[in-house]
Amino acid sequence: VIKCKAAVAWEAGKPLSIEEVEVAPPKAHEVRIKIVATAVCHTDAYTLSGADPEGCFPVILGHEGAGIVESVGEGVTKVKKGDTVIPLYIPQCGECKFCKNPKTNLCQKIRITQGKGVMPDGTSRFTCKGKQIYHFMGTSTFSEYTVVADISVAKIDAAAPLDKVCLLGCGISTGYGAAVNTAKVEPGSTCAVFGLGGVGLAVIMGCKIAGASRIIGVDINKDKYAKAKEFGATECISPQDSKKPIQEVLVEMTDGGVDYSFECIGNVGVMRAALEACHKGWGVSVIVGVAAAGQEISTRPFQLVTGRTWKGTAFGGWKSVDNVPKLVTEYMSKKIKVDEFVTHTLPFDKINEAFELMHSGK
């Protein structure tokens, strides 16, 4: 058993608490990882807020991490002690019908136990003050050591800077993949990206790499426009600058609507606007943001009858074990940006400040 620091969420709506936790050794087909760096994501904040129906407490959150394999359980063959890895919240077992189907990346092998906050055998590897602590998204990267299933880990280039590539565990991969895998943005096309946080910037990067000629960033926070343009946005607009609905503004700006739109916020009203900003006959709108539980999307069926397509994406459609190492290689060869997404680097015990910076849009 390893004793180490972790940021524990004891209950919903309260700040994270830095505690000493015990991390049990990995069982069969499990891997224990020394986490070197982790990022914070709105998904962690969503669960912490208490709005997540799958949220269980007390829990160690975090799902954008990178580290070094400390030890492996019986039967683990893909990674060994000392390997550099990224934990994966969407695993890839290679055996389930989802993994065997090239149309999806949604491996279901450990979905049920992962959703309940436990390892595949139904138990937790974390304890604190004598209490069992739940796992989160199969990763729990807000701990100096974590235990994950062996199908939830990608071995990456040992030379990669872990304080940067941890972002490929969720946000950057999700946005980039939404553009290149889910939407399949084409050269010369026009795109609109709603929400210019980390995921939205990654979508912009993907659209630019795919050869889009016009990329319109949409956000009410104008402080984000300069960064969006760095990543490839050709222009940025705020829905608050016009009395007309934003979809009407975009349709007028683009002679009938955009070819591709992306919702990167998790707001069902914005999801509708993103669809309705698409061009009749061929426009494709991709939902990337995760809306709160129980919310529903709506539009007039005529929008779809007249040739628009509504799609969703999870982790950018990447089959995780196969593709995360390739994304790291693309970063190392400067094909995709990662460093530019990092605004602040804080010590682990300042994790609550990191959440405040994220909430304030900084």
184 and 139 in a common domain: no
Chain mean position to CA 91: 13
Beta strands 235-237; 260-263: pairing state = unpaired
> CA geometry: angle at 116 spanning 113 and 122, to 5°?
45
Is residue 293 scored above 90 in pLDDT? no
> Is residue 328 within 8 Å of residue 156, measured between CB atoms?
yes
Q: Which amino acid is at 320?
A: S
| 138 is a domain residue | yes
SS (H, E, C) 170-210: CHHHHHHHHHHHHHCCCCCCEEEEECCCHHHHHHHHHHHHC
Q: Are residues 80 and 118 in the same domain?
A: yes
CA 229 – CA 91 distance, rounded (Å):
33
State the CB neighbour count (10 A cutoff) for residue 336: 19
* SS3 (DSSP) at 21: strand
Q: Does residue 68 lie within any of the structural domains?
A: yes
Whether residues 135 and 272 share a domain: the answer is no
Note the pLDDT of residue 51.
Answer: 85
Cβ atoms of 183 and 323 within 8 Å: the answer is no
Whether the bond between 58 and the residue before it is cis, its omega within 30 degrees of 0, is: yes
Read off the tokens for 80: 């060994």
**Mean pLDDT over each residue of the chain, to the nearest integer:** 97
Residue 234: inside a domain: yes
Please name the residue that has the structure tokens 């995360």.
324
pLDDT at 53 over 90: no
pTM of the predicted protein model = 0.96
Assess whether 154 and 245 both reside in one domain.
Answer: no
Residues 59-101: pLDDT tens digits?
999 999 999 999 999 999 999 999 999 999 999 999 999 999 9
Residues 240 and 301 in one domain: yes
pLDDT in tens, 204-231: 999 999 999 999 999 999 999 999 999 9
Contact assessment for residue 287 and residue 316, using Cβ atoms and an 8 Å cutoff: no
| Closest by Cα among 82, 95, 91 to 34 | 82
Q: Are residues 152 and 231 in the same domain?
A: no
**What pLDDT is attached to residue 226?**
97
Instruction: Answer for the pair 4, 143: CB distance below 8 angstroms, yes or no.
Output: yes
Q: Say whether pLDDT at 154 is over 90.
A: yes
**292: pLDDT strictly greater than 90:** no
The reply to whether 1 and 104 lie within a common domain is yes
Residues 3 and 120 grouped into a single domain: yes
Q: How many whole angstroms separate alpha carbon 21 and alpha carbon 133?
A: 9
**Is there a single domain that holds both residue 222 and residue 258?**
yes
Q: Which residues contact 238 (CB under 8 A, 6 or more apart)?
A: 218, 219, 220, 222
Closest CA to 277 of 290, 289, 260: 260
- CATH number of the structural domain spanning residue 257: 3.40.50.720
Domain residues for the domain of 241 are 173-312
- Average pLDDT rounded to a whole number, residues 11-23: 97
Question: pLDDT per residue over 332-358, tens digit each?
Answer: 999 999 999 999 999 999 999 999 999
Angle at 182 between CA 181 and CA 183, to 5 degrees: 105
Q: Are 13 and 133 in contact (CB under 8 A)?
A: no
SS3 126: strand
